[in-house]
Amino acid sequence: MHNDLATVLIDDARLQQRVRELGAQIAADYAETGDLLMVGVLKGCAMFMMDLARCIDLPLAMDFIAISSYGQSTESSGVVRLLKDLDTDIAGRHVLIVEDIIDSGLTLAYLRSQLDRRNPASLRICTLLNKPERRDPEVSISVDYLGFDIPNAFVVGYGLDYAERYRNLPYIGVLKPEIYSGH
């Protein structure tokens, strides 16, 4: 598995350090609202959300949503589909969307507009990774909490997959192009 990677971009220690910083910042920002509902975008958010939640020293709730993205390719289809909706009614709630990565921004733009319509008290975005160079010029996303800006490369690990694999790597790495060049 490790041999399929060209480089390690962010190692485990840097990930955990940044997650602790984000957790502290979020805890400080939400302390006065008395409410925090973390909404994880499956499945890429899994590792990040669980580590982040443990670093937020506040009462909070968690829910999950699933959206189709790339299937088995590394390029966005531009077609976004809701695969699993929330269990929670978010009207009046302070909602924090937790994403693994923002690439074109299409997924998050869709999700934000869907959730906005349900009248949350507030709606913010937390993403572990961001690829600013890849943003669709038509899409404007304001990220409230960001782990790392990364260059334009296909990355895996710490929840991020290629064709459902590599999510369990404890670091973020760049996949060797020959691994996905056949697709």
Residues assigned a catalytic role: 103
CB of 30 or CB of 128, closer to ligand IMP: 128
Pattern 33-72, Mg ion, x by CB under 5 A: -----------x----------------------------
Amino acid code (one letter) for 124: R
Structural tokens at position 131: 């690829």
Q: Nearest distance from residue 74's CB to Mg ion, in Å?
A: 10
Q: 146 burial class (0-12, 13-18, 19+ CB within 10 angstroms)?
A: middle
Measured in degrees and rounded to the nearest 5, phi and psi for residue 93 equal -95, 155
Q: Considering the rule CB under 6 A, would residue 69 count as an interface residue with ligand IMP?
A: yes
Q: How far apart are CA 104 and CA 20, in angstroms?
A: 27
CB of 90 or CB of 98, closer to ligand IMP: 98
Q: Nearest distance from residue 102's CB to ligand IMP, in Å?
A: 5
Q: Considering the rule CB under 6 A, would residue 104 count as an interface residue with ligand IMP?
A: yes
C-alpha distances out from residue 6 to 1, 64, 117, 164, Å: 11, 32, 42, 18
CB of 44 or CB of 120, closer to Mg ion: 44
Q: Nearest distance from residue 176's CB to ligand IMP, in Å?
A: 13
Q: Nearest distance from residue 34's CB to ligand IMP, in Å?
A: 30
Helix, strand, coil share (%) of the chain residues, nearest 5: 25, 30, 40
In a 3-state reduction of DSSP, which class is residue 64? Answer: strand
Residues at the site binding Mg ion, with contacts judged by CB under 5 A: 44
